[in-house]
Amino acid sequence: MKLTTILKVSLLILTVFMMSITFYVVSNLKSCNDELWNSDNGRSREVGMMMGGGASINENKHLPNTVNSSTRRHIISSDNSPINDSSDTTVMAMASGYDLETNKMFVGSLRKSGYKGHIILAVKPDIDPEVKTYLEENNVTIKFIKQMECTYTKEQKQDVGENEMNEGMDFDSALKEALTCLYPYPELKQRWSRFPLLRDYLLECKSCTGPVLVTDFRDAYFQRDPFGDNGHDIVGLEVFEEYHAQRTSHWLVDGPVRNCKGDKETDTFLGENHRMLCSGTTIGTREATLDYLRIMHGEMMKWMLDSKCRNHEMNGDDQSIHNYLFYAGRLPFAVAVPNRQGIVNTVGVQGSMIKKQYGGNYKMQKNEYQGADEDNGQWIGIHYDVTDKEGYFTNSDGTRSRVVHQYDRYGDPLDRWLDKQEGILW
């Protein structure tokens, strides 16, 4: 046999061998990733297409063809990610009526985290001058909300007024709430107006081209830059699960949705008893965030037209709509991030459960949680596995959480620790 023939045969055998090894490695990597994706502890909801309707994932304008690999990264901490520049990102919130300390906790902790992006806060025109000065010094874009008379029908006024009285308001305050809306949305409840208003503010910000965090204000603070180093690429919209014990069968979601949509539709979309999603924080690309806020506004307008939908004896019914839209497949560009595995750590449910074991708010005004050493910065025992030894909330992989939401549910022990962090954390 000629030498050239031998070389050709050898080369062919080597090529086949290398292809076999490559196929084996890729197959095993895919199997490992699929196992992580589908496991109960590390799973994330399929990207909004769970009800079988709508276009395929790759046809969605918010998501690139690599969506499957990208969304899996939402549940994996990446310590080898490139250095991120947060200067084109945005954090937005409604922030009316809060004192200087609350503003420092939110804005101060965000800026101390190294965040360089936009901060857009909506406040009332009669903002405390001291607060206004502080916000301006921290390069916050201030948006002044305007009140106006609602254009409710007589029935709508009655329903909204009754809702507020059921929430504990006196008659005069409830009546004012029922008659006062936020400009330019006179047909929408005040609490719901934040969705179209924040959409409008984002549209006005032409330099807000990067990812966006829409968040509650009073009960949130920052331990790390939400869009800083070692983060992941934001693809579409991220919604955040609460503690795994909190399900959509909870009255906060099941009751309003069942009243509004009926038993059949509620059982179809929420019947699997899904994990509760918190409407207080969402993260997305600029385009995905704008679409989310638009869809929420549109659904709220529908609810306002139906007395079965708008007449709820509770606050927080925006969370009912938020969960309904996601699990009904109306947010096909969204992915649900498991609790303690994303940018936002929603700590409220677990905090309330732990605090309840100790007798609630009253008893915790002076008491400590088991295992705490408050003199050395440890406000809750390490065995609870919610913080590190220095008192900072952690994700499930042990890294410090970037955004902490609903922290007030832990009560006075955490408040005392936060007071000591002034100048350090906030």
**pLDDT given at position 245:** 95
d(CA 390, CA 411): 18
Whether the CB-CB separation of 342 and 234 falls below 8 Å is answered with: no
d(CA 200, CA 143): 11
Q: At 347, which helix (H) or strand (E)?
A: none
Single pTM value for the model: 0.80
d(CA 413, CA 361): 10
Query: Which residues, other chains included, contact 228 with Cβ-Cβ below 8 Å and sequence gap of 6+?
Result: 84, 86, 113, 114, 115, 402
The domains of the chain, with CATH numbers, are: 90-345 (3.90.550), 348-420 (no CATH)
**pLDDT given at position 56:** 31
d(CA 188, CA 186): 6
**pLDDT given at position 64:** 36
Pairing of strands 90-94, 118-123: parallel
Give 148-191 as a DSSP string. EE----HHHHHHHHHHHHHTT--HHHHHHHHHEEETTBTTS-GG
Whether the CB-CB separation of 278 and 346 falls below 8 Å is answered with: yes
**pLDDT given at position 101:** 98
Residue type, 200: D
**pLDDT given at position 360:** 80
Q: Which two tokens stand for residue 291?
A: 């679409």
**pLDDT given at position 174:** 57
**pLDDT given at position 8:** 57
**350 backbone dihedrals φ, ψ, rounded to 5°:** -65, -40
Work out the burial of residue 359: count CB atoms within 10 Å of its CB; fewer than 13 is exposed, 13-18 middle, 19 or more buried.
Answer: exposed
Q: Measuring CA to CA, which residue among 284, 283, 295, 286 is closest to residue 322? A: 295
Q: Measuring CA to CA, which residue among 224, 192, 198, 228 is closest to residue 210? A: 228
**pLDDT given at position 20:** 52
**pLDDT given at position 273:** 87
Whether the CB-CB separation of 382 and 328 falls below 8 Å is answered with: no
| Residue in this structure with the two tokens 């509770």, named with its chain if needed | 314
**pLDDT given at position 168:** 54
Question: For 242, how many CA atoms within 13 A lie in the half-sphere containing its CB?
Answer: 22
Strand partners for 345:
404
C-alpha to C-alpha distances, 93 to 146, 197, 218, 227, nearest whole angstrom: 16, 10, 9, 16
Ranges under pLDDT 70 in the chain: 1-83, 161-178, 311-316
